[in-house]
Amino acid sequence: MTEERERRRASVLVLGSERQTKLIGELGDVGLEPVVHEGLYDSVQAIKQDDVAGILVDTEYGDVDALEFILNARDISLDIPIVVVARKLKKRDRSVLANLPNTFLIPHSATVKETARQFSQIVWSGTLSSGVN
């Protein structure tokens, strides 16, 4: 199987809700296979047990403390890119996230299509050319 085919089938964890149908659809359109988890425990187990190419955390969905989840995810792997889509973050949370490896922030004001595009770019290349980090 070619690397390009593997990329098109990359499984990504979305911490949020099935209500994010537009985002889930856009992730599929850019070649990612989103797996949605709403709870902290299930999400952490998925990282431990599944081959996850990336993690997308939307702070607007779900009842999970995003920072707690991200710190748990970083305890499991420093290599999996984590993208946080946030409208507002506490200054302390932003500071913690900025110092975590392979962790990126995307403003909640980005369109769903742009969020999916940026996330796929990070999953496949490990960087984001627009400078958001």
5-27 pLDDT, tens digit per residue, is 444 468 999 987 777 788 889 99
pLDDT at 64: 72
Dist. CA 109–CA 114, nearest whole Å: 10
Asked if residue 51 is part of any domain, the answer here is yes
**Predicted local confidence at residue 131, as pLDDT:** 42
**Residue 107 maps to a domain:** yes
Domain extent, residue 57, equals 3-125
Note the pLDDT tens digit of each residue in 87-128.
788 888 889 999 999 999 988 888 899 999 999 999 988 776
Q: Residue 38 is part of a domain; what is its CATH number?
A: 3.40.50.2300
Angle at 70 between CA 61 and CA 5, to 5 degrees: 85
Give the DSSP H or E segment for 53.
none
DSSP 76-102: H-SSS-EEEEES---HHHHHHHHTSTT
Question: What pLDDT shows up at residue 129?
Answer: 59
Is 8 inside a domain boundary? yes
pLDDT at 14: 93
Residue 131 lies in a domain: no
Q: Say if 13 falls within a structural domain.
A: yes
Q: In this predicted structure, what is the pLDDT of residue 63?
A: 64
On whether residue 106 sits in a domain, the answer given is yes
The structural domain count of the chain equals: 1
**What number of other Cβ atoms are within 10 A of residue 101's Cβ?**
9
- Measured distance between the N- and C-terminal CA atoms of the chain, rounded to whole angstroms: 32
Q: What global pTM score does this model have?
A: 0.85
For the chain, give the number of residues. Answer: 133
39 within domain boundaries: yes
Label the pairing between strands 82-86 and 103-107.
Answer: parallel
69 found inside a domain: yes
